[in-house]
Amino acid sequence: MKIQCTHCDAKLTGPDSAVGRMVRCPECQTKFRLDGPASDLNETISGWLLEDVANARQLDVTIKSHLNRLGGTAGAAGPTGTT
């Protein structure tokens, strides 16, 4: 059966018996659970997956810009003075 990695979208092939089990993508090493035969669900899944990825990217960019603003000062402040 055809498997698509939920993380990097790599096209994989695996045994039908892999359904419902954890699989690991050889491309990005991400582990994910294989849900049901994809033939019918595929459009639905790729539909919300695309939205999900879009949201995730947006979130990622937001987080990164915040991190850049912080400028890596984290770690400078430590628990000092308490003996």
Q: Which stretches of the chain bind Zn ion, using CB under 5 A?
A: 5, 7-8, 10, 25, 27-28, 30
Q: How many residues are recorded in the chain?
A: 83
CB of 10 to Zn ion, least distance (A): 4
* Smaller CB separation from Zn ion, 29 or 65: 29
Q: What is d(CA 79, CA 83) in angstroms, rounded to the nearest whole number?
A: 10
The CA distance from 6 to 2, in Å, is 13
Cβ at position 83, least distance to Zn ion in Å? 49
9 vs 19 by CB, closer to Zn ion: 9
Kindly tell me which of 8 and 61 has the beta carbon lying closer to Zn ion.
Answer: 8
Token output for 5: 């990695």
Minimum separation from the CB atom of position 11 to Zn ion (A): 10
